[in-house]
Amino acid sequence: MQKILIADDNKHIVSILEEYAKKEGFAVQTAYDGNEALQKAQNTDFDMILLDVMMPHKDGFEVCREIRKASTVPIIMITARGEDFERVMGLDNGADDYIVKPFSPGEVMARIRAILRRIAPANDSSTQIFSFASLTVNLDEYITQIDNVKITLTKKETEILWTLVTNTNKVFSRDSLLNSLWGYEYFGDARTVDSHIKRLRSKLDEVPHPEWEIKTIWGVGYKLEVLS
């Protein structure tokens, strides 16, 4: 049974989401402040975390940052407002998606299903490991290395990199990446792709890789370009 953590200081919202999640077959744990959410996230291997932005003790952004230091569990941020800076901040801190209150519990469950389908292991037995120059991406185990140095990426960042590296020099539009990696059921917009690319570049740049780079094609999208 897949496990989900629902963290929000509004007990009514938690109760509703808990009821829907249980109907979806999840084993549910709940938290009502940031400290409790972080403690449970660190002590349990969840398959999904719903994380409210505004919580006592630690806000959702801080909790998300702490979780990302050790885990790639999918995280959906819940925000009470729809300002761009909150959405971008959530994605920059490692969230996979965001949803704005008020929301439909059915919509939340649809987003959860879409994310979990994207990260489900393939049914075939083929090995999904691809090496290019100094870069190796293992999609079976979600491990990325540059010159044998492990780069800690989220599942979504790994999937974006896999798409680009297995199609070197091919330009992917933002909409193409959004549809192929998030799915047509995703309710966000192309800025989600930009935020993930920004964070992915930052992590990859921790280790020099002069043979290639993720390049922005202005007005179009992104590609992994061979430099030498």
Domain 129-226 in the same topology as domain 3-119: no
Token pair for 42:
């660190």
Strands (E), 64-133: 75-79, 97-100, 129-132
Rounded to an integer, the average pLDDT of 8-12 is 93
Q: What percent of the chain has pLDDT over 70?
A: 89
Closest CA to 143 of 164, 132, 157: 157
Q: pTM of the entire structure?
A: 0.59
What does the pLDDT read at residue 124?
46
Domain boundaries in the chain? 3-119, 129-226
Question: What is the CATH topology of the domain spanning 3-119?
Answer: Rossmann fold (3.40.50)
What does the pLDDT read at residue 131?
84
In the predicted model, what is the mean pLDDT of the chain?
86
Question: pLDDT for 14-24, tens place per residue?
Answer: 999 999 999 88
* Architecture of the domain delimited by 129-226: Orthogonal Bundle (1.10)
Token pair for 151:
């780069």
Question: pLDDT for 160-213, tens place per residue?
Answer: 999 998 888 889 998 888 877 876 555 566 778 888 999 999 999 999 998 889
